[in-house]
Chains A and B, each alone.
Chain A
Amino acid sequence: MSVETLNVIIALVKIILVVYVAMMVTDLILILAERRISAFIQDRLGPNRVGPQGILQPLADGLKFLLKEEVIPNHVDRFLYLLAPAIILTPALMTFAVVPFGDQITTYIAGHLVTIRFQIADLDVGILYIVAIASLGVYGLVVGGYASNNKYSLLGGLRSSAQMISYELPMGLAIISVVMMTGSLRLQDIVVDQFGMWNIIRQPLAAIIFIVAAFAETNRLPFDLPEAEQELVGGYHTEYSSMKFASFFLAEYTNMITASALIVTLFFGGWHVPFLHQANLPVLWEQIIQILAFVIKTGFFLFFFIWVRWTLPRFRYDQLMNLGWKALLPLGLLNIVITAAVMAL
Chain B
Amino acid sequence: MLSQYIPVLLMLVIGFGFAAVTLIMTHMVNPRVKEPIKDSVYESGLPPQMEARLRYPIRFYLVAMMFILFDVEVIFFYPWAVVYKKFLTYSSFIFWEMVVFIAILFAGYLYLFKRGAFKWE
A contact residues vs B (CB 8 Å cutoff): 4, 7-8, 11-12, 14-16, 19-20, 65-71, 73-75, 82, 85-86, 89-90, 93-94, 97, 120-124, 128-129, 146, 148-155, 158, 161-162, 165-166, 168-169, 172-173, 176-177, 179-185, 233, 238-239, 242-244, 247, 317-318, 321-322, 325-326, 329-330, 333, 336-337, 340-341, 343-344
Contacts and interface: CB of A to CB of B under 8 A. Distances in A.
Contacts of B113: 326
B6 to A, nearest CB: 6
A89 B19 contact: yes
Contacts of A176: 74, 77-78, 81
Interface string B36-77: 001111111000000111101001100110110011001001
Interface of B: 3-8, 10-12, 14-16, 18-20, 22-23, 25-27, 29-33, 38-44, 51-54, 56, 59-60, 63-64, 66-67, 70-71, 74, 77-78, 81-86, 88, 92, 95, 98-99, 102, 105-106, 109, 113, 118, 120-121
Chain A interface secondary structure, helix, strand, loop or mixed?
helix
Contacts of B56: 154-155, 158
A124 B120 contact: no
Given A121-B5, A185-B82, 4 more contacts: A11-B7, A172-B74, A317-B120, A343-B84
A146 B52 CA distance: 9
Contacts, number: 208
Contacts of B106: 330, 333
A36 B15 CA distance: 29
A69 B102 contact: no
B84 A150 contact: no
A97 B99 contact: no
Contacts of B64: 161-162, 165
A66 B26 contact: yes
A69 B30 contact: yes
Nearest to A251: B19
